[in-house]
Structures are given as structure tokens and as C-alpha cells.
């Protein structure tokens, strides 16, 4: 019975969201004084530190920070709010959710009218492009990027007779093919799998290293025609068939367990993953190190701050962005919280270069991760990118789970994407 009630309640909630869509029902409550504003963030990124720091400097400003939920829950809440509820003055949007909102840029303030046009040069070009609408409106200011690297277990590498020094290890795999070779060596020496899985650790990275992804330069869907996508897909199948994968899907219960038990010796990891490894596998402290990603560049993750058009106090929200997301502000966040700055001017700052991570054998994470994001080529990321990406990834996961033959994988993937793009 409870089940029925719960479901009924969720349907009712869903309907309420829809009800909110009727024109003219815009919320009219909220603070109107210029000294306070409301800020929606998601959990796990710790905006509290920034907010506290800002409040300390500006005791007259009152910031109401709400951690709505996960990144996608926050995006859902924002969608409902934009559709007719009470909107926050400032909202943090995860990079993967941004393209959906970029489709209807009129829901947001054009930040260039507030001064973002003067700041845009401070940020990485390809990051800024993603939050700039076709007509030049700036919807979001980037707060951080993921960057990419490979983390590996020095103890397991040593046991397999591989070098353990991070510079030497990085030299082992300038390309993904070389990476697969190292993996094979490891498997031969130890009889154990080398990599956590191929869909996330290979495909998800390699597909981002091209000059175009699922849309072409005219912003038309081209996932089925772009040779770079097919190449990344085939590469993943090839690495899978070389037998180095532990076939443990990312984020599954076995994945975190495998991390601490040494079931695999290497995995691709963006900067924010380092915290996840520390939390999931605390016993492995000092056994990891960080090497460059094959292909040299890559990014996974990153977020943007945006101001909804109906915000009550856009000025206060903008002042916050301007101060906390300045190069200096982002550097401070990196030094205390580890979120990678999007402002290349601080990439040579000695404080960033000297930042090391004891859990990862004192790897200079600031240096390694920033180097992975400076050479990224900007390509258009459209509203269907997340859907296409997850369908391709899921098909490759099915291959690893033995449910799809590698020979049929590409056709299966195209069918799945086509189905997913309907509706």
C-alpha cells in the first residue's frame, strides 16, 4: 500500500512541477533587499568554504546556500524553478547538464551585461565556449574543470616489473595503443587485470581528445558519421580484446571494493576523483601515483555559475561570482579544496605547482592536471551530448559484460542512440 502512496505522491509532485508551467504563475516571494541572495549548489563540491570566505570579507552580505542534491537533482530542481517556481539568485550547474539549459538561454541573465565580457579572457577558451550562446550571450562562468590523468598503483607496478616513477610511467604511454601494450605486459607478469574497465577509462577519455564529438561544426548531429567517434569506439574494443580489463563497471559496488583490494593497477581519473579514491580506499594511502593520460589531454567534469533571469538580486550574485571566480579566487579554492581552476593565468603560479598530494605519493597534482586541460580543442557540445555519450558507453559496458559481441557493438550502439534520441 505504501508503495502505491509513494508512487502516487511522486506522480503528484511531477504533476505539480507541470502545473507550475502554466504561464503567469511566477513566484513572487523572496528577499528583495540588495544585501542577500540565494545560492543553489549540489552536494560534494563544497561551495560552503567559498561562501564562508566571502561572508567573512563582506559581513553585510547574507548568502543563503542550499545544497539541493546530486548534480542532476540540482538541475531538475532548477528546471522546475525556471518553469514557474521560485528561482535562486545564483545556481551551480554541472557541465553535463549545461547544454540542456543552453538550449533556452532566455531563462538566464546574460552575464556579459554585468561584466562577464571583460572577464572572459581569464578563462580557458574551450570552457567558456560551452557557456556562451550562439548569439554571444554568456550564461555561465566556469568554476572548475576536471582535467584528466591516469592513477596507478606503484606497489602493483613494481611487482610486475614496470617502472614506478611517474615521469617514466607517463613516457610508457604517449598513445592509447602504447597504454594497451603496458597493460598486456602487466597481465603477463601478474596474471591479473590491469585496468578497471574500458568504457570509462578508455572510451570516455579518448572520445574527448578529438576536434569534434557528436555534433559537427554546423552544430548538426554527426555522431554516426564522425570518424573520430568511431575511432575512439574501435580503440576501446581493441583494448578490451587485448584482455587487460577487470570489467568492473565504474560506480558499481565492486569498483570501490576493487580499488582498495588492488583488483586493477590503473584507472583514468579526473582531479575530483582523487577525493573519491581517498574516501573509498583509505587503506591504499601512499600506494598510488598520478601519470599523464595517453594522448596528453582530457577533461571530465567541471561546473558553471549562472544567474536565472527572474533572480531577485542578480547584482549581489554577480558580485559574488566576480570575486570568488577570479583567477585568485579559483586558486584559493584549489589550494584549500582541490577544485581545478579554469583560469590559465594561475597555472604557472608556484603555489599551484607546489601543491602535492601525500595520498598519491606526493604527486604534483596542480601541475599534472592543468597540463591536461590547456591543449584541449573547443568543440560544440549540444543538448543531446549526454544522451549519446551514455548510450555509447552503455553499449561498451554491455560488451564487457559479455552481452554484446564486439563485432556487433557499433551497430548496436547506433541503434541504441537512435532509440534514445526519440521521444
Partner 1 sequence: MLSPAAAPKATARPTRNRRIQQGLRERLAPYVYVAPFFLLFFVFGLFPLLFTFYVALFDWDPIGERRYVGLANFAELVDDPRFWGALRNTFSIWVLSTVPQLLLALGVAHMLNHVRLRAATLFRMSMLVPYVTSVAATTIVFAQLFDRDYGMLNWFLGLLGFPHVDFTASVWGSHIMIAVMVAWRWTGYNTLLYLASLQTVPRELFEAAAVDGANGWNQFRHITIPALRPIIVFTVVTSTIGGLQIFTEPLLANPVGGLTCGAARQCQTLTLFLYEQAFGRFHFGYGAAVGVALFVMVVIVAAINYLLVTRIRSERP
* Residue 141: strand, helix, or coil: strand
Quick one: 151 or 399, whose CB is closer to partner 1? Answer: 399
Spatial neighbors of 245 by CB under 8 A, at least 6 apart, are 193, 194, 195, 196, 197, 198, 239, 400
Kindly determine how many residues on this chain lie close enough to bind partner 1 according to the rule CB under 8 A: 54
In whole angstroms, what is the distance from residue 194 CA to residue 246 CA? 7
Quick one: 232 or 324, whose CB is closer to partner 1? Answer: 232
Using rule CB under 8 A, residue 43 touches partner 1? no
Figure out which of the listed residues 26, 104, 348, 411 binds partner 1, where binding follows CB under 8 A: 104
Using rule CB under 8 A, residue 80 touches partner 1? yes
In whole angstroms, what is the distance from residue 134 CA to residue 404 CA? 39
Figure out which of the listed residues 27, 348, 403, 411 binds partner 1, where binding follows CB under 8 A: 403
Using rule CB under 8 A, residue 26 touches partner 1? no
Using rule CB under 8 A, residue 240 touches partner 1? no
Using rule CB under 8 A, residue 268 touches partner 1? no
Q: What is the largest CA-CA distance in the chain?
A: 69
Which residues lie across from 142 on neighbouring strands?
Answer: 304
Quick one: 370 or 395, whose CB is closer to partner 1? Answer: 395
Using rule CB under 8 A, residue 252 touches partner 1? yes
In whole angstroms, what is the distance from residue 402 CA to residue 389 CA? 20
HSE-up (13 A, CA, CB side) for residue 58? 14
Q: How far is the CB of 386 from partner 1 (least distance, A)?
A: 9
- Strand segments, DSSP code E, in 50-207 are 62-67, 90-94, 140-145, 149-153
Residue with cell 617514466: 168
Q: How far is the CB of 190 from partner 1 (least distance, A)?
A: 17
Q: How far is the CB of 20 from partner 1 (least distance, A)?
A: 8
Spatial neighbors of 206 by CB under 8 A, at least 6 apart, are 176, 231, 232, 235, 236, 295
Using rule CB under 8 A, residue 62 touches partner 1? no
Q: What's phi and psi for 143, nearest 5 deg? A: -100, -30
In whole angstroms, what is the distance from residue 120 CA to residue 142 CA? 10
Using rule CB under 8 A, residue 407 touches partner 1? no
Figure out which of the listed residues 136, 191, 253, 358 binds partner 1, where binding follows CB under 8 A: 253
Using rule CB under 8 A, residue 194 touches partner 1? no
Q: How far is the CB of 370 from partner 1 (least distance, A)?
A: 29
Figure out which of the listed residues 155, 216, 263, 328 binds partner 1, where binding follows CB under 8 A: 263
Using rule CB under 8 A, residue 113 touches partner 1? no
Figure out which of the listed residues 31, 36, 49, 79 binds partner 1, where binding follows CB under 8 A: 79
Spatial neighbors of 411 by CB under 8 A, at least 6 apart, are none
> Grid coordinates representing 293?
593520460
Using rule CB under 8 A, residue 181 touches partner 1? no
In whole angstroms, what is the distance from residue 293 CA to residue 146 CA? 13
Q: How far is the CB of 368 from partner 1 (least distance, A)?
A: 29
- Residue 292 DSSP code: P
* Interface with partner 1 in residues 379-398 (CB under 8 A): 387, 390, 393-395, 397-398
Using rule CB under 8 A, residue 7 touches partner 1? yes
* Residue 376: strand, helix, or coil: coil
| Interacting residue ranges for partner 1, rule: CB under 8 A | 1-4, 6-12, 14-19, 21, 72, 76, 79-80, 82-83, 100-101, 103-104, 107, 248-254, 257-258, 263, 387, 390, 393-395, 397-398, 401-404, 419-420, 422-423
Amino acid at each position: 500500500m505504501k508503495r502505491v502512496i509513494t508512487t502516487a505522491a511522486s506522480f503528484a509532485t511531477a504533476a505539480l512541477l507541470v502545473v507550475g508551467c502554466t504561464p503567469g504563475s511566477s513566484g513572487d516571494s523572496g528577499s528583495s533587499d540588495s544585501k542577500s541572495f540565494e545560492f543553489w549548489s549540489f552536494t560534494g563540491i563544497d561551495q560552503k568554504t567559498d561562501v564562508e570566505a566571502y561572508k567573512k570579507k563582506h559581513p553585510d552580505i547574507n548568502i543563503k546556500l542550499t545544497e539541493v542534491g546530486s548534480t542532476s537533482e540540482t538541475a531538475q530542481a532548477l528546471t522546475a524553478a525556471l518553469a514557474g517556481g521560485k528561482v535562486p539568485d545564483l545556481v551551480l550547474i554541472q557541465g553535463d547538464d549545461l547544454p540542456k539549459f543552453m538550449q533556452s538561454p532566455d531563462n538566464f541573465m546574460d552575464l556579459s551585461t554585468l561584466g562577464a565580457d571583460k572577464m572572459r579572457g581569464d578563462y580557458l577558451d574551450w570552457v567558456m565556449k560551452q557557456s556562451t550562446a550562439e548569439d554571444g550571450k554568456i550564461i555561465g562562468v566556469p568554476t572548475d574543470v576536471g582535467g584528466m590523468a591516469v592513477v596507478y598503483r606503484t606497489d602493483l607496478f613494481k611487482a610486475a616489473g614496470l617502472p614506478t616513477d611517474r615521469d617514466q610511467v607517463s613516457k610508457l604511454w604517449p598513445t592509447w595503443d602504447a597504454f594497451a601494450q603496458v597493460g598486456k605486459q602487466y597481465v603477463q607478469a601478474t596474471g591479473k587485470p590491469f585496468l578497471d574497465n574500458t568504457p570509462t577509462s578508455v572510451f570516455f577519455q579518448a572520445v574527448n581528445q578529438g576536434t569534434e564529438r557528436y555534433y559537427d561544426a554546423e552544430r548538426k548531429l554527426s555522431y554516426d558519421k564522425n570518424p573520430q567517434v568511431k575511432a575512439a569506439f574501435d580503440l576501446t574494443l581493441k583494448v578490451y580484446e587485448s584482455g587487460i580489463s577487470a570489467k568492473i563497471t565504474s560506480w558499481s559496488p565492486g569498483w570501490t571494493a576493487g580499488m582498495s583490494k588492488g583488483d586493477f593497477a590503473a584507472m583514468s581519473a579526473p582531479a575530483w576523483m582523487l577525493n573519491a579514491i581517498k574516501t573509498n580506499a583509505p587503506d591504499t594511502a601512499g600506494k598510488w601515483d598520478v601519470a599523464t593520460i595517453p594522448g596528453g589531454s582530457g577533461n571530465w567534469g567541471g561546473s558553471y555559475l549562472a544567474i536565472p533571469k527572474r533572480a531577485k538580486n542578480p547584482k549581489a550574485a554577480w558580485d559574488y561570482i566576480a570575486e570568488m571566480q577570479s583567477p585568485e579566487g579559483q586558486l584559493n579554492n584549489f589550494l584549500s579544496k582541490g577544485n581545478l581552476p579554469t583560469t590559465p593565468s594561475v597555472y604557472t603560479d608556484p603555489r599551484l605547482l607546489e601543491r602535492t598530494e601525500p595520498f598519491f605519493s606526493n604527486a604534483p597534482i596542480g601541475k599534472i592536471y592543468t597540463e591536461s586541460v590547456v591543449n584541449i580543442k573547443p568543440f560544440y557540445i549540444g543538448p543531446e551530448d549526454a544522451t549519446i555519450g551514455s548510450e555509447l558507453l552503455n553499449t561498451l559496458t554491455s560488451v564487457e559484460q559479455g552481452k554484446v559481441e564486439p563485432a556487433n557493438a557499433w551497430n548496436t550502439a547506433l541503434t541504441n542512440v537512435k532509440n534514445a534520441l526519440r521521444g
